[in-house]
């Protein structure tokens, strides 16, 4: 049985590249608010090739890891256990090390999306649209299975992406209607729109925001606001940001790694906002 360190405890975020990650700011703010003075949280640039050795070298002082691209799938073979949520999208963003040394993988992006929506008063939607079909879109689809009671439409750029979204729909046991990106402006009239595309991809849609938009969940947080989010807000629509998602998925990570519930949401959000402001001010 692995001996658990009781004073100094470690956690970190891994990925490549990783210098941009806001996770250290969020987790350290949580430790401070929870008075976990012996806890530290770092970032390490680790690629798929280096991941097994890094994980194998973790000592008893380690509580867990946050994982970003390109490691969310690469870590799965290294785990002793994976949650149903993570298995549903074949993506692990959280590795928790138990007291007996087991490696448990989870995905907090999905419940984090649901929590971010609920924070903005969105408990349920009659229908929803997803803009894009990349890796984040699969997590968005999984989150929508918990929120959306009706039709889900994915707007994609290629038949290959369409096929991927159909496969995710089958895996998650939800029907996804595929629509061409050329008609993406139609998505903006849905009660819930989830934009999962890279920076700039939805800028051209800003001019098509309806006079009374409902709710937009834009997973980007830098640059922010996106042109679509800015116009959406200007027209009075509710906007959920990528920072909201980042905070809520980190909240769940902190709770799992530390065993302290609830994690300090507002302290973590404030730390994220300050870190983003400092980044924008730096040359």
Reference 42, options 67, 14, 3; nearest CA is 14
Residue 205, both tokens: 């849609």
CA distance 149 to 144: 9
Q: Which residue numbers are catalytic?
A: 72
The answer to whether the CB of 68 falls within 8 A of the CB of 49 is no
Reference 239, options 116, 112, 144; nearest CA is 116
Cβ atoms < 10 Å from Cβ of 140: 28
Beta strands in 110-195 (DSSP E): 128-131, 152-156, 176-180, 192-195
3-state secondary structure of 207: helix
């Amino acid at each position: 049985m692995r001996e658990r360190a009781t004073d100094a405890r470690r956690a970190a975020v891994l990925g490549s590249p990783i210098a941009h990650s806001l996770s250290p700011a969020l987790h350290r703010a949580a430790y401070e608010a929870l008075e976990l003075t012996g806890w530290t949280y770092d970032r390490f640039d680790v690629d798929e090739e280096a991941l097994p050795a890094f994980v194998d070298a973790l000592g008893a002082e380690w509580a867990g890891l946050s994982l970003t691209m390109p490691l969310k799938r690469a870590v799965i073979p290294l785990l002793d256990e994976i949650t149903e949520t993570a298995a549903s999208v074949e993506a692990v963003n959280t590795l928790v090390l138990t007291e007996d040394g087991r490696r448990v993988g989870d995905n907090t992006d999905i419940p984090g999306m649901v929590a971010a929506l609920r924070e903005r008063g969105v408990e349920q939607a009659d229908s929803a649209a997803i803009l894009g079909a990349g890796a984040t879109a699969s997590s968005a689809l999984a989150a929508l299975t918990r929120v959306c009671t009706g039709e889900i439409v994915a707007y994609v750029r290629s038949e290959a992406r369409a096929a991927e979204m159909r496969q995710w729909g089958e895996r998650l046991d939800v029907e996804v209607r595929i629509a061409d990106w050329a008609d993406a402006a139609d998505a903006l009239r849905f009660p819930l729109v989830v934009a999962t595309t890279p920076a700039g991809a939805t800028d051209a849609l800003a001019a098509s925001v309806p006079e009374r938009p409902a709710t937009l969940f834009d997973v980007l947080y830098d640059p922010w606001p996106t042109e679509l989010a800015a116009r959406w807000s200007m027209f009075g629509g509710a906007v959920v940001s990528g920072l909201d998602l980042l905070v809520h998925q980190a909240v769940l990570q902190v709770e799992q790694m530390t065993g302290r519930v609830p994690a300090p949401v507002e302290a973590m959000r404030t730390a994220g906002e300050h870190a983003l402001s400092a980044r924008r001010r730096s040359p």
